[in-house]
Amino acid sequence: MRLIDRYLLRQLAGPTLLATLALTGVALLSQSLAGLDLLVNQRQGGLVFLKITLLYMPQLINIILPVAVFVAALVALNRLHTEQEIVVCFAGGMSRWRVISPAMRLACTIAFAALVMNLFVQPAAFRALRDELFEVRTDLASTLVREGEFTEPVPGLTVYAQTVEGDGDFRNLFIYQEKADGTSTVYTADEGRIDSRGGRSVLVMKNGTTQEFSDRGVLNYLTFNEYPFELSSMSDSAELVHYKPSDRWPHELFFPDLTQDWERKNRLSLLAEGHARLATPLYNIAFMALALSAIIGGGFSRLGYARRIATMGAIAAVTRILGFVVQAACEDNAWLNILQYAIPLGATAFGLRAVFRQKVSRFIALRRRTPAMAGAAA
């Protein structure tokens, strides 16, 4: 790679990295705000919250990368063109392909990295995310008791705790249970904690009482130092983690197990997700081509390229929105999957056509003729 190629590549790579980091930070902030429910309602620790937020990153990065490439390319190319560095490249005899090749190589490298994330990193991260969310959802300590609230985790059972300590202990516990035979029991305890005994989940209550009316209307009142309240009826041991199309490996998307009822009914959705995994990295190349078209696809102007940038920005936005629309439509019509590839490839062809159809500007030609004219005058 020649010195000028390395220079142009450095000028593009730096802004691309900064734009990716900035947009990823904004996306993580919005995702973290949406995940505050884990801290507020589910009473999960900060490590669980951080883990779930970070597991969303592969998908967020894949969505952000084309935008980052487009913005960074516009910033870098606009500066290079305004300061006449690209003009000097043309005046030095470099072809248009030689000038844009560092940008296209960078876009292809980013597209390959996005493809690897789509095929391998995202499924692994989303499977871990789904497992983590399943554990949070089935966490008895968070679903059974909420501080200062009467909750009904299952029909016929009401639970209240005045305070919930950070270590998982409950203080001033109250439980009202209606049984199948029509009798009811009230449990009160100074403290309680969810534990596992004999492979079963139990709520261990300490220093409390039980009050129960028998079928004869007699009140039975007992005190206890420790009482294990059975929680097996609240946990479904047969419940399994269900992986969505975004969590599945490529071979599971393109070759689903049609003996499974869910996969047979959602075969088109799985196929659409599989083609989207392969097609979305192409938007990095398409957006780079549109950015090149916005700056190099027209004549040189000292006043800037605001109109061309706005036009190409609108085209890029429409292109990506069409991609999302087509992906959704592919869940009903398998033949539309070809459009998932046609849209980014068409945008790439449109951008490169605008770059290569533009003739060498008069300013460049004048710069080339100036030395010869000066020599003739001398």
b/e burial code for range 32-45 (CB count within 10 A of at least 16 → b): beebeebeeebbbe
Say yes or no: 261 and 229 in one domain: no
d(C-alpha 157, C-alpha 33), whole Å: 32
238 assigned to some structural domain: no
Q: Are residues 170 and 209 in the same domain?
A: yes
Q: Which residue has the tokens 């109250």?
A: 174
Q: How many domains does the chain have?
A: 2
Q: Do 154 and 63 share a structural domain?
A: no
Question: Under 8 Å CB-to-CB from 301, ≥6 apart: which residues?
Answer: none
Q: Say if residue 205 is in the same domain as residue 250.
A: no
Q: Using one digit for the tens of pLDDT, what is the confidence trace for 47-87?
A: 777 888 888 889 889 999 999 999 999 999 888 888 888 87
Give this prediction's pTM.
0.74
Structural domain boundaries, residue 308: 3-137+244-377
For residues 87 and 361, give the distance between their C-alpha atoms in angstroms, rounded to a whole number. Answer: 9
Which range has highest mean pLDDT (155-164, 165-174, 209-218, 352-361)?
155-164
pLDDT tens digits, residue range 208-265? 999 887 666 677 888 999 988 877 655 554 445 678 898 899 999 999 988 888 889 9
pLDDT at 378 over 50: no
Of the residues 233, 264, 286, the one at which a domain ends:
233
DSSP state of 360: P
Residues 281 and 183 in one domain: no
Q: Are 69 and 282 in contact (CB under 8 A)?
A: no
pLDDT at residue 137 greater than cutoff 70: no
